[in-house]
Chain A
Amino acid sequence: MAKQRGAVVVDRGFLPFLVPGLLLFAVVIALPLTMNIGLSFTTWTGVGTPSWVGLDNYTRLVSDAAFWASFRNILAMIVAMAIVPTVLGLFLASLLFDYVGKKLGDRPASGLRAAFYLPQVLPVAVAGVVWGWILHPTYGALNLSLRTLGLDTLTRNWLGDHSTALLSVMAVMIWFQVGYPVVIFMAGLQRVDPQLYEAAELDGANWAQRFRHITVHMIRPEIFVVLLTTTIAALKVFGPIYVLTRGGPGNATNVPSYFAYQNFFERAQVGYGAAIATVLTLIVVVFSALFLGAQSRDELREAS
């Protein structure tokens, strides 16, 4: 046994177990992804043979106002799905952990955490169905309630109006997302040494100071992960847009994934849709790589 010197014995007995995984991976992910990239250089209606057009789809993208609108909206989605929930989640988790939990016990803290988390278990399309009803201009719960309260001037076509559509969708997404950072951050805080907080308290640090100097600092890995996963979710958002607005009015709430869907399945412009999907994929991959790189640099800095 060559183990003593730590030499690695190449053991081929494992490899058969990788065969089904790799085969299925090739058919369901690698092949379609390659085909999609290939199709992005063609024009194709979905029937007949695709014809090669080189970079035409990409040059068309650059001058397409709808494409730029969809990318502006994705920035709004990043704000609503990643940035605002992370900030809110930091406050809520810190209040629950460092304040409510310590002064009033675990039960109220975990009960509140469950309440914040509940929207997260919904299928996002169902969340859209619920909010679609609440925000409906004629029979929706929000407008009817405003009328009952005598606030008729505040009623509007929340999802159909150019000035409020994007903001309404953003509000729905904030509601949907907030519980995720709360749960992750609270779990992260559990591994922080309680003595840190005690020492800070003895030194006279108030909650705000402890929040800034201990909480935010200690759960930086969790903040990284939450920002990464929620931003990727925002880049890919589709269900709520399909259910709430179908990208409208005009392109006011259109996003790249819905824009690609429209080109694939409504306009039969498969090549163009594939180009949009390819650009979106590139953004997701580059973004993830940058983020993970920054994270590991951060970890190295912490360790040294």
Chain B
Amino acid sequence: MATTTPLRPPADRVTPPVERLPRTRASLGPWVVLALLVVVALLTLAPFLLVTMNAIKTPAEYSTNGPLALPEGLYLQGLIDFWHRVDFGQKLINSALISGTVAVGAVVLSLCNAFVIGIGRVRGRLAFLVLFLLANMLPHEALAYPLYYLARAVGIYDTRFAVIVIFTVIQSAFGTYLLSSVLAKFPTEILEAARVDGATKWQLLWRVIVPVSRPTLSVLFVFFFIWTWNEFFLPLIFLISNANQTVPVALGVLQGQRLMDATMSSASGLLGVLPAIVFFLLFQRTLTRGITAGAVK
């Protein structure tokens, strides 16, 4: 298989159902284009298929039949062994705990910030927005060593708590930026009505703004969860002990050590890929809506 995605792959690899169509160029065209796109899509999906096929083969099968052969049976021992070896259950719990807490915390924090900037329209709100936007773009390397040093100094180094606090702030930088522009367009009649009813700021936020902006908040939640799940650099630095590591860190460190064989490599690939596929199936709509919401206001 190729490692690149060619623009115009050879057409003969997928045969379009030509015979049943009238032989005019106009109606043949879409099928040829579709066939080309299907080839590109198959190339994109090939690593997923390869990793799944080979994670359920015996080592002997892999070395005699090669990676392209279909598995002869369902061999799960490789996956089970790898699971126990890295204590994968613990890694899943760590990832879920860190990502879940960060997602909740960052949504709340973004909401509070955006409430002041978008609804309260405080003086200097543009400066705040630029500040949060810059914080979102900052390379984490520029924060890494001081954060590492400070975390050691206060004794929270190598804890999930430290990673949770750091990512809550980093994610909320983006959340504040996005949510502020959403809340700036909040219907003024509703705000006015709440004000006439004598709502306090607290009531305004929790009883009026949160219910109305729930769709945006849930998109942010999903995004913060997945972004945090996928993070590698800072968790790699902060989560040294095995018991605290997240899924990507555990797999990435193992891969870097090059102690693995074919079966273990494909098993680790599959275990890393599976949660992502689950999120994809659960949140496909939210994901598509979310990345476009962030893109163009």
- Chain A residues within CB distance 8 Å of chain B: 8, 10-11, 13-18, 20-21, 24-25, 27-29, 31-33, 35-36, 39, 46, 88, 91-92, 95-96, 99-100, 103-104, 108, 112, 114-119, 121-126, 128-136, 139-142, 144-145, 147-148, 158, 168, 171-172, 174-175, 178-180, 183-184, 187-188, 221-222, 225-226, 229, 232, 235-236, 238-239, 242-243, 246, 256-257, 260-261, 264-265, 270, 273-274, 276-278, 280-281, 284-285, 288
Contact = CB atoms under 8 A, between A and B. Distances in A.
Contact of A18 (B51, B113, B230): B113
Contact of A175 (B3, B113, B135, B273): B3
A25 B173 contact: yes
Given A91-B7, A99-B33, A121-B226, A145 B142 contact: no
A25 to B, nearest CB: 6
A126 B95 CA distance: 14
A17 B44 contact: no
Given A20-B109, A126-B269, A139-B261, 17 more contacts: A14-B122, A25-B132, A28-B166, A39-B146, A99-B33, A103-B29, A104-B34, A121-B280, A125-B252, A141-B50, A226-B295, A229-B295, A242-B232, A242-B236, A277-B141, A281-B139, A284-B138
Given A115-B41, A281-B138, A175 B232 contact: no
Most chain B CB within a 10 A radius of its CB, from A36, A119, A123, A184: A123
Given A171-B4, A284-B139, A139 B262 contact: yes
What 5 A-B pairs are tightest by C-beta distance, nearest first? A14-B120, A126-B272, A133-B265, A32-B146, A141-B67
Interface in B105-158: 109, 112-113, 115-117, 119-123, 131-132, 134-135, 137-150
A178 B205 CA distance: 39
20 contacts: A13-B120, A15-B116, A29-B138, A29-B169, A29-B170, A31-B150, A32-B147, A32-B150, A95-B37, A129-B251, A129-B252, A136-B262, A141-B266, A174-B4, A178-B44, A187-B295, A232-B137, A242-B236, A257-B139, A264-B148
Contacts of A285: 134, 137-138
B93 interface: no
Contacts, number: 303
Contact of B276 (A14, A123, A168, A257): A123
A39 B67 contact: no
B48 interface: yes
A8 B124 CA distance: 13
B244 interface: no
Interface residues of chain A: helix, strand, loop or mixed (majority):
helix
Contacts of A284: 137-139
Contacts of B1: 142, 145
Interface string B281-297: 00010011001100110
A53 B116 CA distance: 43
Most chain A CB within a 10 A radius of its CB, from B7, B109, B145, B272: B145
B176 interface: yes
B287 A121 contact: yes
A99 B3 contact: no
A39 B145 contact: yes
A243 B295 contact: no
A46 to B, nearest CB: 7
A99 to B, nearest CB: 5
Contact of B252 (A39, A243, A265): A243
Contact of B256 (A88, A242, A274): A242
A103 B66 CA distance: 40
B116 A130 contact: no
B178 interface: no
B242 interface: no
Contact of B3 (A91, A96, A103, A171): A171
A177 to B, nearest CB: 10
B194 interface: no
Interface of B: 1, 3-5, 7, 29-30, 33-34, 37-38, 40-41, 44-45, 47-48, 50-51, 54, 62-63, 66-68, 109, 112-113, 115-117, 119-123, 131-132, 134-135, 137-150, 165-166, 168-170, 172-173, 176, 200-201, 205, 226, 229-233, 236-237, 247-249, 251-252, 254-256, 260-262, 265-266, 268-269, 272-273, 276-277, 279-280, 284, 287-288, 291-292, 295-296
Nearest to A104: B30
A99 B143 contact: no
A122 B230 contact: yes
Contacts of A16: 201
A18 B122 contact: yes
Contact of B141 (A158, A183, A246, A260): A260
Contacts of A112: 37-38, 41
A141 B272 CA distance: 18
B284 to A, nearest CB: 7
B7 to A, nearest CB: 7
A236 B201 CA distance: 39
B37 A96 contact: yes
A85 B179 CA distance: 28
Contacts of B254: 129
Most chain A CB within a 10 A radius of its CB, from B141, B173, B255, B276: B141
Contact of A129 (B143, B165, B269): B269
A124 B173 contact: no
A158 B266 CA distance: 18
